[in-house]
Structure 1
């Protein structure tokens, strides 16, 4: 992942962008925790809100793979298909870890 190119596309210097990415990973992890909790509680509204937040943040920062996964998850959550969002949520968790590892590596 080319953080410099993403930063340039958004008009940030690299250090500013890395700070935003760190915040994204933290809030994205919290959003995913809410998603898993919502699945357990069978709360489609809670899942939809958490996934919407993750979708928006990932799109704004240029993490389009995460954005696309979250976009589909949001549709499933809105349609109360919570059983459909568990596996994609696990995939996003892996992607957030990879982003974090690269950021701190």
Structure 2
């Protein structure tokens, strides 16, 4: 993951973008945890809200794969379709893991 290029897309220096990514990691992982709990509880409204938050934040940071995945979850939850979302949750987990690895390296 190239933080320099992603930051430049937003008119930010790499260190400024990294700060935003670190904040996204803190809040986004909390949102993901709440999303998973809501999914386990069958709470489509909360699944949709948490996915919407992740969708917006990741889109603002130009993390488009995560943005698209969260949007799919949001739309499915809006329609009350909670079955089969585990593949998308796995993709979001992997997205957060990829960001974490990039921050370390």
Q: Give the shorter-chain TM-score range.
A: over 0.9
Q: CA RMSD in A?
A: 0.9
Q: After TM superposition, give the deviation of residue 22 of structure 1 in Å.
A: 0.8
Q: After TM superposition, give the deviation of residue 27 of structure 1 in Å.
A: 1.3
TM-score normalised over the length of structure 2: 0.95
Q: After TM superposition, give the deviation of residue 86 of structure 1 in Å.
A: 2.0
For 1:49 and 1:84, the matched residues in 2 are separated by: 18
- What is residue 53 of structure 2 aligned with on the other side? 53
1:13 aligns with 2:13: yes
Q: After TM superposition, give the deviation of residue 103 of structure 1 in Å.
A: 1.0
- 5+ unaligned residues in a row in structure 1: which ranges? none
Could you list the runs of 4 or more consecutive aligned residues of structure 1 that deviate by over 2 angstroms after TM superposition? Answer: none
1:71 alignment partner, SS class:
helix
- What is residue 90 of structure 1 aligned with on the other side? 90
The number of residues matched between the two structures is 105
1:62 alignment partner, SS class:
coil
Q: Deviations over 1:29-68 (max 9, x none)?
A: 1111111101111100000000000000000000001111
Structure ranking higher in helix proportion: 1
Q: Deviations over 1:64-91 (max 9, x none)?
A: 0111111111110111111232220121
TM-score normalised over the length of structure 1: 0.95
For 1:61 and 1:69, the matched residues in 2 are separated by: 14
- 5+ unaligned residues in a row in structure 2: which ranges? none
- What is residue 24 of structure 1 aligned with on the other side? 24
State the structure with bigger RCO (CA 8 A, min sep 6), 1 or 2: 1
